[in-house]
């Protein structure tokens, strides 16, 4: 196929949050040519955050939280090809070959291939009751294997592992979380916030074991047996491995695109091929508000933001990535929210909001606000984290005493009042 093929349009590989948002954004930005969205799952695009929460705890048979139903995609003239993978890219001919043998010509190509769970080598032969959580079908499988009263072991004390642990406790399971690091949420979450999360899980009856390695895992159709480094043996009806994720870069690598902790893109989300873009969990990009440091983000909002930004830039907008990173997690009745990246902070100040809620503001040596980490019940920290996000985006150097005082409204710092 040639670049002048009249059927060439915008092709998006990956039908998750990022890819689906990009498809709709192309139409919202007046692109009238063909738009094709290719996804490996049989389902239409859906949101992934509920997989570790509502998909496990809802009493009735759960349904995915759809990003768009078939009628909406049809209305917008978006072709969704489900149950198919892209197997190769012909950059010279500007086409993509799919797993069903078909070929798609593209004007511009977006790789939104996401990330997959990191595998635990020790669990390779642990049997059918050792699983990971990435898809809606994975969540359904966990539900089937974890009726009330069952024993669950979670390997990994990150967001996914702890969210799943909270949901399993709500389902009536006996839960043990094993984390090799000295505490849970080691990556990107300050110790004070992680301690509050741990205490909440303990209060609900979960057994959180940190600084604990695993010597072996064995299993069969009936149960999984975990031997810890100290010799302790745990038997479980289900073991879920949640030790992080790795970006899906194989398609990009085989096409000769640059890879650096994900598919490497510039500030406009272009890969090393100017006609191919990448966005979401699969890509690393320079973030100007942090000195151009290359980062890769795994978050729902980043997938949304970059999907819509990539669509505009595929149409020639030339808009750089500028959004402040934002993360959230719901566990039991607590919501954790983080704006910005705290790496490089020299100090932090604490702002207590009452009823156990608090925010930590992370400051650089020159006083610039780099990040804010908050935790509290429900939406207790949401408004202040949103204002902190705006302060970070402006590069402000707020008075630490004002940040620490709940009597000082953050909005006044934003306006300079």
Tokens found for residue 148: 């009330």
198 lies in the same domain as 255: no
Cα–Cα dist 161/235, whole Å: 18
213 within 8 A of 120, measured Cβ to Cβ: no
* Total Cβ atoms within 10 A of residue 101: 8
Predicted pLDDT of residue 416: 59
124 lies in the same domain as 229: yes
- What is the average pLDDT across 50-66? 90
- Number of domains within the chain: 3
Does residue 67 have a pLDDT over 70? yes
37 lies in the same domain as 109: yes
107 lies in the same domain as 250: yes
Any domain includes 79:
yes
Any domain includes 326:
no
Predicted pLDDT of residue 4: 39
DSSP structural state of residue 320 = P
Does residue 417 have a pLDDT over 50? no
The pLDDT tens digits of the residues spanning 221-272 come to: 999 999 999 999 999 999 999 999 999 999 999 999 999 999 999 999 999 9
DSSP structural state of residue 386 = H
Please name the residues in contact with 102: beta carbons below 8 A apart, sequence gap of 6 or more: none
- What is the average pLDDT across 25-29? 98
258 lies in the same domain as 292: yes
DSSP structural state of residue 87 = E
Tokens found for residue 56: 């496990």
Residue 185: CATH number of its domain:
3.50.50.60
The pLDDT tens digits of the residues spanning 171-228 come to: 999 999 999 999 999 988 999 999 999 999 999 999 999 999 999 999 999 999 999 9
Predicted pLDDT of residue 6: 52
**pLDDT confidence tier of residue 2, bands split at 50, 70 and 90:** very low
210 within 8 A of 182, measured Cβ to Cβ: yes
Predicted pLDDT of residue 1: 31
The pLDDT tens digits of the residues spanning 288-314 come to: 999 999 999 999 999 999 999 999 999
**pLDDT confidence tier of residue 73, bands split at 50, 70 and 90:** very high
Residue 353: CATH number of its domain:
3.30.390.30
Predicted pLDDT of residue 251: 98
Query: Where is 403: in which H helix or E strand?
Result: helix 400-404
The three-state secondary structure class of 361 is strand
96 lies in the same domain as 174: no
Provide the residue range defining the domain that includes 211: 119-243
Does residue 414 have a pLDDT over 90? no
Question: What average pLDDT does the chain have?
Answer: 95
DSSP string, 64-75: --BS--HHHHHH
The pLDDT tens digits of the residues spanning 123-169 come to: 988 999 999 999 999 999 999 999 999 999 999 999 999 999 999 99
Any domain includes 41:
yes
């Amino acid at each position: 196929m040639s670049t002048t093929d009249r059927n060439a349009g915008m092709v998006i590989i990956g039908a998750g949050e990022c890819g689906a948002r990009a498809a709709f954004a192309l139409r919202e930005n007046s692109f009238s040519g063909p738009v094709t969205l290719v996804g490996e799952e049989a389902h239409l695009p859906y949101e992934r955050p509920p997989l570790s929460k509502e998909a496990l705890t809802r009493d009735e048979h759960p349904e995915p939280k759809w990003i768009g139903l078939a009628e909406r995609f049809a209305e917008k003239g978006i072709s969704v090809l489900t149950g198919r993978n892209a197997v190769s890219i012909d950059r010279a001919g500007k086409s993509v070959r799919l797993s069903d043998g078909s070929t798609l010509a593209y004007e511009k190509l977006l790789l939104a291939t996401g990330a997959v769970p990191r595998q635990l080598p020790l669990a390779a032969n642990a049997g059918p009751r050792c699983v990971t959580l990435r898809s809606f079908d994975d969540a359904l499988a966990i539900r089937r294997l974890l009726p009330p009263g069952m024993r669950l072991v979670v390997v990994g004390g990150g967001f996914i592992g702890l969210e799943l642990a909270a949901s399993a406790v709500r389902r009536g399971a006996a839960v043990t979380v094993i984390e090799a690091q000295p505490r849970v949420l080691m990556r990107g979450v300050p110790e004070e916030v992680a301690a509050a999360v741990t205490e909440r899980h303990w209060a609900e009856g979960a057994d959180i074991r940190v600084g604990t390695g695993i010597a072996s895992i064995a299993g069969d159709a009936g149960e999984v047996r975990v031997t810890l480094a100290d010799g302790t043996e745990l038997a479980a009806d289900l073991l879920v491995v949640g030790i992080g994720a790795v970006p899906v870069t194989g398609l990009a690598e085989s096409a000769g695109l640059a890879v650096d902790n994900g598919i490497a893109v510039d500030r406009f989300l272009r890969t090393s091929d100017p006609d191919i873009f990448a966005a979401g969990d699969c890509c690393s990009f320079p973030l100007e508000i942090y000195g151009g440091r290359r980062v890769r983000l795994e978050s729902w909002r980043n997938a949304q933001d970059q999907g819509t930004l990539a669509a505009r830039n595929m149409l020639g907008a030339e808009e750089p990535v500028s959004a402040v990173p934002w993360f959230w997690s719901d566990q039991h009745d607590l919501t954790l929210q983080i704006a910005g990246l705290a790496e490089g902070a020299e100090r932090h100040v604490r702002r207590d909001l009452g009823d156990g809620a608090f925010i930590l503001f992370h400051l650089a040596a020159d006083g610039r606000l780099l990040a804010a980490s908050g935790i509290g019940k429900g939406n207790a920290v949401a408004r202040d984290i949103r204002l902190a996000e705006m302060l970070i985006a402006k590069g402000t150097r707020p008075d630490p005493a004002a940040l620490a005082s709940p009597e000082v409204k953050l909005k006044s710092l934003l306006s300079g009042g």
